[in-house]
Chain A
């Protein structure tokens, strides 16, 4: 096993388990993103992998070696912090070389490796500056350089882009992804930003309240969320949810909800999908299609508000079943309160159990 393996990992603070019996296998060379709201335990988990936070139970293996009781510097990992945590009194050169120096690397070799990394990250001209003289993006590069220079087996990132402005964040996303492809090392990346997770991850682990909610490829997490929490956390604008009962409609099934039936053509009903079962229907704004000419599956709605974002137009619709957000082409003219019948792409919707939120279909 070349990657990182967590086995029944637990963390208890004062009697409360913030991480509860968590198992996770990270393949070698994977870009794994731990995604979740603040307080879900993702940062704690990362700190435990780093060795900064002792385990309350379970084992952690890195590259097949049990590191559960090892100090951070013996684990063959490097970490990039949200605050960058650059040493304020050291120049960039000494910041990057500090880890090598602490390991007794000969000075000439430190110099050579620092220069190499600085070259790769295009910060060669900044080597003699202090962190306070750098911009946020430059500090970020230095922090990444400090991790790169030691060529660890695993890179850990703790929300490294949250302190950057939006434009820079998008640039750094691309850069990190490129870096991952180039180095081929395992990266574990903590974020609460689902765009970062979707764009960079080879696999996403969605966490909530100390448990893994879903662990899958980004497309799968987006298209087939394992439960209602994942469905609502991933995707912006968020998924629409309607509570109702499954009923027969137009030769398939539909959702009876608030005095109307929404047909769901193309939906495979769940195995235990007995008619009349209460379900929560979830569908993303892009799965609402305009059906101006009526036709099969169409139901009545009227536009309440339009939100143009540039490439897309999000329209808030009022239906008898409740309010629903739909994505439409940006050139569509929306008249407030005008009727705008729509239909749902039944093959793309999700059904959740209203009681425990798990996915039914």
Chain B
């Protein structure tokens, strides 16, 4: 094997280990009973693997403190927020780039500003707004907040993609008798599937992993899983149950990993399409 190859593999293996090692340690710890964790060393493999910690993380102890119903909360927040922000963002991006709207550039600039202001800055006015709408502490309130935050980014993504679509295509569709929505549905939507994959993955990850908005806008009943995880890990009496913490963390991370795995190919194609055409 030529030495360049050796160097290359060495680098790749090192990088992979650096990423995988913590995950392996987490998985291994989550399968150990507490006694083994107390005595043994962190890197040792479990002697008597058990799923008890996973069960505790999911169901809680004595019927409370589990992540199960918070998972549902998260899905009820993420899925509507995802559908609405990607759907609306796609249409907005299409309108901004392919239809000659009055002040389109001004609107676009406003959206960009929305993208660059960190959420912390507008947190307080946002709280007031959601409270006035009577949605504070509810799942619909969280959906609204996430849609508003996601829209600017998704719109930017789609606008940049549609900007690369030849304007003649829209003209041809108009002559064929397709209006605003028909052109979007029949011509533009099929064209933008890779960008859709990117938008879905990024929005899903972002909304699912969100902690700040979930913490601020939720109540006990509408808590997303990230907030619940924090409570589980941070506020325990007595001994830290490392195995339960690790199992809970991995459970919370699982959905985003699955989304990447299932749409990873489309995702890469979407990024590549953006790179070539943008």
Give the chain A neighbours of B169 by CB distance below 8 A: 85, 87
Q: Which residue of A lies closest to B190 (CB)?
A: A89
CB pair A52 B191 closer than 8 Å: no
CB pair A72 B168 closer than 8 Å: no
Given A89-B190, A89-B191, A102-B177, verify A81-B172 contact (CB < 8 Å). Answer: yes
CB pair A78 B175 closer than 8 Å: yes
CB pair B166 A73 closer than 8 Å: no
Q: Kindly identify which residue among B168, B176, B191 contacts A99, using a CB–CB cutoff of 8 Å.
A: B176
Query: How long is the Cα–Cα vector from A83 to B168 in the complex, in angstroms?
Result: 7
Q: Is A342 close to B, CB under 8 A?
A: no
Number of A-B residue pairs at CB separation under 8 A: 57
Q: Kindly identify which residue among B174, B186, B190 contacts A73, using a CB–CB cutoff of 8 Å.
A: B174
Give the chain A neighbours of B177 by CB distance below 8 A: 73, 99, 102-103
Give the chain B neighbours of A102 by CB distance below 8 A: 176-178, 182
Q: Which residue of A lies closest to B178 (CB)?
A: A102
Q: Kindly identify which residue among A52, A83, A146 contacts B166, using a CB–CB cutoff of 8 Å.
A: A83
In chain B, residues 170-203, which have Cβ atoms closer than 8 Å to a Cβ of chain A?
171-178, 182, 186-187, 190-191
Given A87-B187, A88-B191, verify A72-B166 contact (CB < 8 Å). Answer: no
Q: Kindly identify which residue among B171, B187, B190, B191 contacts A81, using a CB–CB cutoff of 8 Å.
A: B171
CB pair B176 A85 closer than 8 Å: no
CB pair B171 A85 closer than 8 Å: yes
In chain A, residues 67-110, which have Cβ atoms closer than 8 Å to a Cβ of chain B?
71-73, 77-79, 81-83, 85-90, 98-99, 102-103
Q: Is A50 close to B, CB under 8 A?
A: yes
CB pair B174 A52 closer than 8 Å: yes
Q: Kindly identify which residue among B171, B182, B187 contacts A79, using a CB–CB cutoff of 8 Å.
A: B171
Query: How long is the Cα–Cα vector from A361 to B174 in the complex, in angstroms?
Result: 47
Of B166, B176, B191, most A-chain CB atoms within 10 Å:
B176
Give the chain A neighbours of B168 by CB distance below 8 A: 81-83, 85
Q: Which residue of B lies closest to A79 (CB)?
A: B175
Query: How long is the Cα–Cα vector from A72 to B183 in the complex, in angstroms?
Result: 14
Q: Which residue of A lies closest to B176 (CB)?
A: A99
Query: How long is the Cα–Cα vector from A106 to B226 in the complex, in angstroms?
Result: 53
Give the chain B neighbours of A50 by CB distance below 8 A: 171, 175
Q: Which residue of A lies closest to B172 (CB)?
A: A85
Query: How long is the Cα–Cα vector from A88 to B166 in the complex, in angstroms?
Result: 11
Give the chain A neighbours of B171 by CB distance below 8 A: 47, 50, 52, 72, 79, 81, 85
Give the chain B neighbours of A98 by CB distance below 8 A: 173, 176, 178, 186
Interface string of A36-65 (1 = CB under 8 A from B): 000000000001001110000000000000
Give the chain B neighbours of A99 by CB distance below 8 A: 175-177
Q: Kindly identify which residue among B176, B178, B182, B190 contacts A146, using a CB–CB cutoff of 8 Å.
A: B176
CB pair B191 A72 closer than 8 Å: no
Q: Kindly identify which residue among B174, B186, B190 contacts A72, using a CB–CB cutoff of 8 Å.
A: B174
Query: How long is the Cα–Cα vector from A52 to B171 in the complex, in angstroms?
Result: 7
Q: Which residue of B lies closest to A82 (CB)?
A: B168
Query: How long is the Cα–Cα vector from A89 to B193 in the complex, in angstroms?
Result: 10
CB pair B175 A73 closer than 8 Å: yes
CB pair A85 B174 closer than 8 Å: no
New A-B contacts (19) at CB < 8 Å, excluding given A51-B174, A86-B172, A146-B172:
A50-B171, A50-B175, A52-B174, A52-B175, A73-B174, A73-B177, A78-B175, A79-B175, A83-B168, A85-B168, A87-B173, A87-B186, A89-B191, A90-B190, A98-B173, A99-B176, A99-B177, A102-B176, A103-B177
* Chain B interfacial positions (CB closer than 8 Å to A): 166, 168-169, 171-178, 182, 186-187, 190-191
* A-B interface, 6 closest residue pairs, ranked by CB to CB distance from nearest: A73-B177, A99-B176, A85-B168, A89-B190, A102-B177, A85-B172
What are 11 A-to-B residue pairs whose CB atoms are below 8 Å? A50-B171, A52-B174, A73-B175, A73-B177, A79-B171, A81-B168, A83-B168, A87-B169, A87-B173, A99-B177, A103-B177
